[in-house]
Structure 1
Amino acid sequence: MRFFNTEGPVRADMHYLLPPLTRWDLEEVLALIEQKKYFLLHAPRQTGKTSCLLALMEFLNQDGRYQAVYANLEGAQTAREDVARGMRTICGTIEAAARLYLGDERLHDWTERAWQARGIDGVLTGLLETWSANSQTPVVLLLDEVDALIGDTLIALLRQLRAGYPQRPQAFPNTVILCGVRDLRDYRIHARSEAAPITGGSAFNIKAESLRLGDFSEAETRTLLQEHTQETGQVFTPEALQQVWTLTQGQPWLVNALAYQACFRSPEGRDRTRPIDAAMIDAAKEHLILNRVTHLDQLADKLREERVRRIIEPMLAGESLEQLPLSDLEYLTDLGLLRQRGGGGIEIANPIYREVLPRTLALVPQASLPQISPTWLDEQGQLDLEALLAAFFDFWRQHGEPLLKSAPYHEIAPHLVLMAFLHRVVNGGGTLEREYAIGAGRMDLCLRYGAVTLGIELKVWRDGRPDPLARGLEQLDGYLDGLGLDSGWLVLFDRRSGQPPIAERTSVAEALSPDGRCIQVIRA
């Protein structure tokens, strides 16, 4: 029985799939190969790049006009700045791929001759020259995980490919496709042999195009899910199909992971007579997030990078992105963390990522929380909002100051500590949803626990800014209106310099919003 794939390239005999060659413009790719171009394919991790390259190799070899070989260079990453070791690994990987896919045993001897004649600075060029000169059809070389290489090893690869480029196709590959997560412009190579970083564009200025593999469309997402229905008879309800699209926005790994969890891992989903409904998709999402599956863990690990922090921190705080470097925005888009909305604005790529990023940042404060008794629950186990407010006050006054120091992003430390507290509240019994309002200076939270829904708006009062109370009440009206609520919390974190300790300045008062809603204004 086939299943939804979340590990490695797809296989038609094992996995539900969309034909890989339909996911990019095959006519454009074939035209570039006809024109003897060298180009890039890049996309975020686990979006189907390797599957596309393998399918292209098979298509070209069956067509017969080219000799195509796919080689994954990730094994050379451990060579780092050891160019001799790195080039040995790269050439060995290409040799093994030619044996596997073409049955060609000659490349090892050609490598050894090139090593003796050219050394580490020309061994790859020499190997590819000899291979191409002895091939009855032009060679197409598909190199995967190129951006995993480091420093001088990456420079050696790019420059040796560039050195042989004028000799194509008679004495060098007709086409080389480099594949990785990032576009070539982001190959900033800090090599020991150079005084300043080298950009990929300068080291490989023969690149003709940079193609990006996109996410699934809504129609493609539904088509993939319905492969399961055709094979097993188990249907997805219309609400479930819509929820998969809403949560993932077509990110291929997320689509497959949600469906695999719902259809193959959950007890309800394994009953093929039972339709997959939206609640089962939501439960699958929670499972993926709570278990910190590898894909989401790798994504969250990027939050440690400074160029990622420069974008994500103001986004979470609701600040404007106008003054941030364009290169940082492009980098996060290439990683798949951000996407461009239809109207041109930037946002987190999908709702699952929007939930994972702040949850991850709140992990350290959450792990640092003291033992807290659930005094916010009444005798029936329902959430009591007055008791919740009292519990937060006790917690914040006693533990807020030290916990702020544990938060990884200083500018939004209060937000992260509050979210850590609220995660303890909803643990196992509710949900905490977040909305970012870029440029509006706020973050919105929606806490759902049983029959209770609480809308919360967070704002920060910084030096040189007016009291955010009036603006916050006005903004909160709009948020509560969307939730259908007539009351909520406005939390104002006072981060101005020279303020009294948290225990002294924390207070609460009731206020009416412009639309007449009763708001608990918490100054913290």
Structure 2
Amino acid sequence: MRRRFNTAGPCLPAYHYMIPPLGRLPEAPDLVAQMGYFVVHAPRQTGKTTTLRALAEELTAGGEYAALAFSCEVGRAAGDDYGAAVHGILDRIRIRAETALPAELRPPPWPEASDTGLLAAALAAWAHACPRPLVLFFDEIDALYGASLVSVLSQLRDGFNERPEGFPASVALCGLRDVRDYKAASGGDPNRLGTASPFNIKLKSLRLGDFTAAEVAELYGQHTAETGQEFTPMAVERAVELTAGQPWLVNALANEIVEELAVPPTEPITVDHVEQAKERLILARATHLDSLASKLVESRVRRVVEPVLAGTLTQLDPYDDDLQYACDLGLVAAGLP
């Protein structure tokens, strides 16, 4: 069977290539060992969920932690109804735990508690019952906003000092944004973070970066090792140039060549194939590309992207929040002049 590239879309293929998770988040195990609460942020469709799940599996398999990655996407429809959001998140935790954890590490029945403290009470009960320290990855935390986001972050902050016996030892919030944008999403003024930031216990922010040229070559090399079909060095170089290592583009480009152009496995993949795949992706207007284009209407994105398109870009402060936000969305690449 020909293996497919992971395009990180809504329907993942059964077989896909990937970069080892510890290679993409090398600092995460040390932060977990420090019982750190931290943030992981990355553009959409960069393999974030795949990496987090693989990292959780590795941590659990090591025998020291009970680690689980789960999605908060269910909370999007709840809006400001924080009770519904928390109930939905706890449902997702239980469903994921049934699949990803052995029985002795799964959560006990959730305790009775008010909506304002249910998440904290549930996680405390699980930490007390679990024979190992808990490590939780809240993926798609961006799905929450307003009162729901405030409630979740506040309950995590309130339980922080009880870890590891009485609360998860380590927690990562994973989404598009760094913690500096959480206050805006929760209804506060992002320009006045101060101690009122709703996640001021975070130890560090990690950005799940784009692939390096070596990682693109490694990913495409997995296809060669599996099928015998070579990506020529010039084809790999051109793919890196076109994608700047953006993971969704790297994988989508290769998937277009292997699956849609259907280059025979006996033929090497060349620069011409890469160019054909590029044009096909542009004309197809993949959902991910359209969703990125929709962000161009945001004023903070326009402030960065308009001078890029007009050729009038001046030097921007690398610590500029708007530049970082555009990078996190995957609309611009680091290292722009």
TM-score, with length taken from structure 2:
0.91
1:233 aligns with 2:232: no
Match of 2:271 among 270, 278, 282: 278
1:97 aligns with 2:96: yes
AA matched with 1:318: G
RCO higher in structure (CA 8 A, sep ≥6): 2
* Counterpart for residue 280 of structure 2: 287
Structure 1 residue 311 displacement after superposition: 1.6
AA matched with 2:53: L
The separation in 2 between residues aligned to 1:281 and 1:203, in whole angstroms, is 45
AA matched with 1:283: Q
Match of 1:145 among 122, 133, 140: 140
The separation in 2 between residues aligned to 1:275 and 1:137, in whole angstroms, is 49
Deviates more, 1:51-60 or 1:229-238: 229-238
The separation in 1 between residues aligned to 2:251 and 2:334, in whole angstroms, is 23
The separation in 2 between residues aligned to 1:278 and 1:60, in whole angstroms, is 40
The separation in 1 between residues aligned to 2:17 and 2:165, in whole angstroms, is 40
* Counterpart for residue 4 of structure 2: 3
In structure 1, the gaps of 5 or more residues are: 348-524
* Counterpart for residue 425 of structure 1: none
User: Partner of 1:189: helix, strand, or coil?
Assistant: helix
Residue-by-residue CA offset, 1:131-153 (whole Å, 9 max, x unaligned): 11111111111110001211110
The separation in 1 between residues aligned to 2:213 and 2:90, in whole angstroms, is 41
Identify the structure with the greater strand proportion. Answer: 1
1:317 aligns with 2:310: yes
Q: How does 1:140-219 map to 2 (within 5 A)?
A: 140-189=135-184, 202-219=197-214
**Residues 107 and 273 (structure 1), Cα distance of their counterparts in 2 relative to 1, 3 Å cut:** closer
Structure 1 residue 99 displacement after superposition: 2.5
* Counterpart for residue 110 of structure 2: 110
User: Partner of 1:187: helix, strand, or coil?
Assistant: helix
Which stretches of structure 1, 4 residues or more, deviate above 6 A after TM superposition?
9-13
The separation in 2 between residues aligned to 1:104 and 1:47, in whole angstroms, is 33
Q: How does 1:10-409 map to 2 (within 5 A)?
A: 14-25=15-26, 28-102=27-101, 103=103, 107=107, 109-111=109-111, 113=112, 115=113, 119-189=114-184, 202-267=197-262, 269=263, 271-321=264-314, 326-341=320-335, 346=336
Structure 1 residue 312 displacement after superposition: 1.3
User: Partner of 1:141: helix, strand, or coil?
Assistant: strand
AA matched with 1:294: T
The separation in 2 between residues aligned to 1:212 and 1:34, in whole angstroms, is 19
Structure 1 residue 338 displacement after superposition: 2.0
**Residues 191 and 257 (structure 1), Cα distance of their counterparts in 2 relative to 1, 3 Å cut:** closer
**Residues 154 and 178 (structure 1), Cα distance of their counterparts in 2 relative to 1, 3 Å cut:** same
AA matched with 1:148: A
**Residues 105 and 233 (structure 1), Cα distance of their counterparts in 2 relative to 1, 3 Å cut:** closer
**Residues 177 and 297 (structure 1), Cα distance of their counterparts in 2 relative to 1, 3 Å cut:** same
Structure 1 residue 321 displacement after superposition: 3.9
Does the Cα contact within 8 Å between 1:20 and 1:52 map onto a contact in 2? yes
Does the Cα contact within 8 Å between 1:189 and 1:199 map onto a contact in 2? no
AA matched with 1:99: E
CA RMSD of aligned residues (A): 2.5
Residue-by-residue CA offset, 1:51-95 (whole Å, 9 max, x unaligned): 221111111111111111211111111111111211111222222
**Residues 340 and 16 (structure 1), Cα distance of their counterparts in 2 relative to 1, 3 Å cut:** closer
User: Partner of 1:47: helix, strand, or coil?
Assistant: coil
Residue-by-residue CA offset, 1:339-373 (whole Å, 9 max, x unaligned): 332xxxx36xxxxxxxxxxxxxxxxxxxxxxxxxx
**Residues 211 and 105 (structure 1), Cα distance of their counterparts in 2 relative to 1, 3 Å cut:** closer
The separation in 2 between residues aligned to 1:191 and 1:243, in whole angstroms, is 42
TM-score, with length taken from structure 1:
0.59
Number of aligned pairs?
332
The separation in 1 between residues aligned to 2:13 and 2:259, in whole angstroms, is 18
- Report the identity percentage: 45
- In terms of Rg, which structure is larger? 1
